[in-house]
Amino acid sequence: MFCLSLVVFYPSISYAQGAPVSRSQAQSAVVISRVGGETVRFATETDFQELVVGQVLVDGDIVRTGQTGAVALLFVDRTAMRLHPNTELAIRQVSDTQTSLELTSGKVWARTPRETNSPITVQTPSAAAAIRGTDWTLSVDAGDVTSVFVYDGEVDLTNAQGSISAGAGTGVSASRDGAPQSVQVLNLTERQQMLFSVTPGTAANAIIQFERSVAGHGPEPDAYRQGIRFIRAARFDQAATLLERSASTFDPQRATAARWIAAFARAESGAPISGQGRGSGAVDTFARAYLAAYQGDLARAAAALVPIHSAPVALAEAVRFSVYLDRFDEARRLSAQLQTVAGGTAQALSAEAFVKWIVDGNPSEAVKLYRRAVALDTENPTLLSDLAMAEHTVGHPIEAEAALRKALTLAPGDAGILANLVVVLLDQYRVAEAQRVADQLTKSSPGAYTTLAARAQVDISKTDNLRAEESALEALAAQPAAAENSVLLAIAAHRAGHDVRAQQELDAARRLDPNNPNVPAIRSAIALDYARADDAIVAAMEADRLFQLNLAAERLSANRKSGSILTAAFQNLGLTDWARDIADRSHDPLSASSLFSEALNPRPTIAFEDVSSDPSDSYILSSELQGILLDPLGVVTRLRYSDISLKPFFDGEISATIDPDEATSRFYTGTINGFTTTPVPLGFYLDGIFESAGDISSPSRMTAENTTMILVAEPSARLGLTAFRVAANLKNGVAGPFFDLGVNTNSDVKFSFSGLGASFRLQERKVLSFYASVFNFEAEFTNEETRDFFGDLYVEIERSRPSSKTDFFSMGYRGDDASGTWFAGYEYMKDTTSFRTEYFEVYEFGDEFHFGSVDYQTKQTGSRLYIQRRQDFGGRFQVEGDFGLHYVRVDGTGTEPLSPRVAMGVTIAPGHRIRLAAIRDVWLYDESLAPATVLGLFPIGAPVDRGGTTVARIFRYDGTFSNRFHLSLEHQSLTYTNLSFDSADIDTNVHKATMERTDLRGEMWLGGGLGAFASAAVTRSNIVSGAVEGSSIFGVPDQEAAVGFTWVHPSQLKISAQARHIGSRVGNADGTKLDPVWTVDASLTWQPLDKRLQLSIDARNLFDADIQSSFDQGSLGRSIAVSAALRF
């Protein structure tokens, strides 16, 4: 399973600092991070002194950042504020009702919680800003002109000459002598407005790489090489001392590099960097550009590189700066220029990779380019770190960790690489290891952005929701321009129950990174948790669009109960075909979420047992099994809220259901499941079910007991393990006292199903899976008939004891390449079925006579060998096909049918897709590691015996209109062999049957939490040979229609209803026709008390229509079940 882990280019930073000064006054704010050279004047003192991380600030304190400094503050009302260079801010008053600040010079960015009760006023030399907004920047230039830019919310700017308001996306300014006025904002991007700067360590490493790329240098002197080792080991003071002392002995270019590297190393310890010359030439020009970037002026940094664009390293850095500035066209142009200047070099390849990844949203192509670059420059730790995070994005955890480990051998103290390692470890739920790395960062760099972000990632993977929210808020304050920080804070706030803050941060993340599909995906998940059905669908549509554009996989926790978050929003309103369309279109055969969604897709079946139920309720067991093997931790899921990212938990539920129409029908369940990361990532799921029908005092009573136990583990990135056991016992009796005239029937059925599974990741997204299971069944059926023989009573007894054991083994491979996915595998099944029937009589006076018995046994073996290919031609056209060879032997008679399957799909217009398939399936076992579908298409299910075949030709159209309406049309032409209709004492075999079925379904999202659907189906079926030749298939209606709706309210109330028409159908082997019928089903669910309680009513056949069931099983009356569940 992939937890949410956002790709971050963590720069390195580490500095020493003094201890914070203790304060006796009430806290107003605290210093979260700093860069270097910042000072503070405490309210009770007259002199400024060094500002340190962790310093508490109180009313009356004044903070100065200096020429190169920057400070992140966190106020007591949870306002995060970032002070830019050359800024002076005074804290006048901070209270529960008012925050008053004074900005004398410079620029600040701030984000205030939307739910805060403390408005903020900032006084400047030329105006006063009254802030009712949440995201804003405020600056005072050298001429005392005050400027305000608002990203979200509203700000009033007032002075003696007038007042003006600024809303979201606008700006205003005021001078001392002029009234406030609107400012035209041409490009209001938060990345440029806020301090998106590089750190000293990043600058030093960039200068090292540039200097090494400059031609004409001899071997590196020992002192220079040792200084670089110190830099990469985060021993900055030693590096600075050595390079400063030795620089005069180097050649001019290397001496310039040494002095600049030393200056940035000193900055890691908090020393300011002046702009004075340290040499000349290309190295000096490059270093000055990085000084501008360090000071937070990326635009000036990019401009400074222009004179040295002829140097590949400089041009590669210019590409990166352009991306950071959101100048994507410029980044593409510079990358193309670099290919011309130095095509095929590590610099050109890495720059192209960065553009492919971040700008074009194609991380897979970026990985290829980064690998080529690393092969050319094997000693570049920054390049290895970039490769690692690209590998991580495309789901290559083993390769990502290997690249980071290699980078750390070159730069063992690099904080950026260590922080990226935290991300990769957490993606594998190795929380203890990630915590150790984060602790290492905290010790060396307590207030660095890299440390704060890594610590936030670790805390989100633990159970303390409030601590996680605090950590994420600190990371946000340290680097507000990084969208991933807003996403982390949104997740933490949601877990802590702070929905308003979560929505605020998701809004910010969307502004910062509008092409990140995870942002709307998370918004959709949160909306579902709060029953905001419309918001969930809007966000899911946006996420679906962005996932297609970004060619990226969904990186949220897999959930076997709801599948993909993209589809859950539509399923929530009963828009099941719409959900299926999205799931099929975005299907990733190596994603557990996709496989779980496929398992939940509606699959029409030949359902003759109960026509009042929806025949599409069954799901594909094989897809669920495959998803669990790929991501074992997908078994466990929170009962009340979405698993946006998985953390340790323990959940339980107990429930009871009764049917008022049948007062003696009771249904009790208990469920517990949980997840822990110690000693290894481990999940468990246990449930128990007890069902009782019939009065306790009555001899006619049914009881059923069922238990399920699942244990899963992911000991490493390569290995996933699954073990389960399901056991059930069903007892049923219709009887009177022994020796009373009449017929007594009793049954006692037991079965158990146990299995073991393992998946082994070979490399990248190539997985080998193994699965073995054993199914045991045994039963005893007793029919007793009491007779009167000339006044003597005796009982005729027929006792049957069927039993069976099925062993199944499967191994399968699935792995992708540049344009598709390969599947291959082998499966073997062995089944032994025994049946013994005894006949005897028992007389009232005690004699017993045994009349004999009948015994028989059958053995079946079967195997399947398959290979399948899914090919993608540029996204609009897909082809998938497989070739399967099956061998099935029953009591010495073997068959060797082939089972080819092929499908093609084409997107004829945005939102409109046609798929065609030709399928020949051979049924071997209920579960399989072979793909369950071809391009999401599958035949209508039927009760096919082992070795029987299903041949299908399928056409399907899906179309979405105006984001409100979805239409699907599907036609299937089918031929079945070896059908078996087994109900009660009736076992009717059909050797061959055909069916033509056309389904039309329209679904509409009406808004207001309301979804509606209407469907119609026409079926023509024919039994070609076997029972009742020439008849329709038993239980298959010639016509069907349905109309229904689902309504969801934010109060956690959900109401669904549907009216369904079932046409005439053949009821049994004598050809009896069952009458058409209309039936109405409805359900109501309410989840109050923070969803700790669930109350529901489920009504089937609400108006008690006369529904005749197949095979003379009687009429199906109304059923109204009332249930209550308590969650803890």
Domain boundaries, the chain: 29-193
Q: CB atoms < 10 A from the CB of 589, how many?
A: 23
DSSP letter (8 states) at residue 113: -
Determine how many CB atoms are found less than 10 A away from the CB of residue 459: 25
Please report the pLDDT score of residue 761 as a whole number.
Answer: 95
962-989, pLDDT tens digit by residue? 899 999 999 999 999 988 876 554 557 8
Count CB-CB contacts under 10 A for residue 812.
22
- Among 551, 550, 549, 581, residue whose Cα is nearest residue 564: 581
Torsion (CA) 247, 251, 256, 258 in degrees, nearest 10 = -40
pLDDT of 275 reads 64
Q: Which residues of 29-53 are buried (b: 16+ CB within 10 A; e: fewer)?
A: bbbbbbbbbbbbbbeeeeeeeebbb
Separation CA 141–CA 352 (nearest Å): 38
Cα-to-chain-centroid distance, residue 957: 28
135: β partners: 111, 152
Please tell me the distance from the alpha carbon of residue 995 to that of residue 973, in angstroms, as a whole number. 6
Distance CA 318, CA 324 (A): 10
Closest by Cα among 781, 702, 699, 701 to 740:
699
In whole angstroms, what is the distance from residue 203 CA to residue 223 CA? 20
What element of type H or E holds 663? Answer: strand 662-676
Where the chain has pLDDT below 50, the residues are 1-16, 186, 191-193, 608-619, 663, 696-697, 735-741, 985
Exposed / middle / buried, residue 826 (Cβ in 10 Å: 0-12, 13-18, 19+):
middle
Distance CA 477, CA 294 (A): 17
Residue whose C-alpha is closest to residue 950's, from 605, 615, 609: 605
Residue 699 has phi, psi (to 5 degrees) of -75, -15
Distance CA 172, CA 228 (A): 48
The residue behind tokens 């949220």 is 556
Phi/psi-derived region of residue 1101, left when phi > 0, alpha when psi is between -120 and 50, beta in every other case: left
- Tell me the CATH number for domain 29-193: 2.60.120.1440
Asked if residues 847 and 858 have their Cβ atoms less than 8 Å apart, the reply is no
Cα-Cα-Cα-Cα dihedral of 238, 239, 244, 245, to 10°? 60
User: Which helix (H) or strand (E) segment is 24 a member of?
Assistant: none
Residue 208 in 3-state DSSP?
helix
Q: Whole-angstrom Cα distance, residue 866 to residue 898?
A: 10
Which pLDDT score, from 0 to 100, does residue 458 have?
A: 94
Q: What is the pLDDT of residue 513?
A: 85
1117: CB partners within 8 A, 6+ apart: 661, 1101, 1104, 1107
Alpha carbon distance 342, 315 (integer Å)? 10
Structure tokens at 950: 């299903």
Instruction: Tell me the residue type at 1066.
Output: V
